[in-house]
């Protein structure tokens, strides 16, 4: 299990600019890490740009920043960095209160070792 604290952002639908909203705290269990490693391999072997993985909210233990509240959906987005072809991931979802897109900064998949 890896516990992460990562800066989060909100991208309001009425503006093209993301704004910082604070730190997200969550846990990535071994099974989710393995799924992300498989997703990275799949992306490297295919022409796909990204893969979304569902998360179990009971396992992830998500704590959102003050003022963000609950998310109506929550997934891990895995993609390849074009510079090094390595897998990165970040948490994405929508605020339950207003449906605005929220996400975290990205982390390399292999940093979870």
Q: Which of 90, 91, 85, 107 is nearest to 40 (CA)?
A: 85
CA 112 to CA 28: how far, in whole Å? 8
Q: Which of 77, 75, 82, 76 is nearest to 44 (CA)?
A: 82
pLDDT at residue 92, rounded to an integer: 97
CA 45 to CA 28: how far, in whole Å? 24
pLDDT tens across the length of the chain (113 residues): 889 999 999 998 877 799 999 999 999 999 999 999 999 999 999 989 999 999 988 889 999 999 899 999 999 999 999 888 899 999 999 999 999 999 999 999 988 76
pTM, two decimals, is: 0.91
pLDDT at residue 113, rounded to an integer: 66
pLDDT at residue 39, rounded to an integer: 96
pLDDT at residue 5, rounded to an integer: 96
């Amino acid at each position: 299990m890896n516990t992460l604290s990562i800066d989060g952002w909100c991208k309001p639908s009425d503006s093209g600019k993301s704004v910082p909203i604070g730190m997200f705290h969550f846990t990535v269990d071994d099974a989710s890490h393995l799924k992300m490693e498989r997703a990275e391999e799949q992306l490297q072997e295919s022409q796909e740009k990204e893969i979304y993985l569902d998360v179990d909210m009971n396992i992830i233990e998500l704590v959102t920043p003050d003022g963000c509240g609950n998310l109506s959906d929550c997934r891990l987005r895995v993609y390849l960095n074009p510079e090094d072809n390595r897998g990165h991931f970040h948490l994405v979802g929508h605020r339950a209160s207003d449906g605005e897109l929220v996400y975290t900064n990205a982390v390399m998949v292999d940093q979870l070792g």
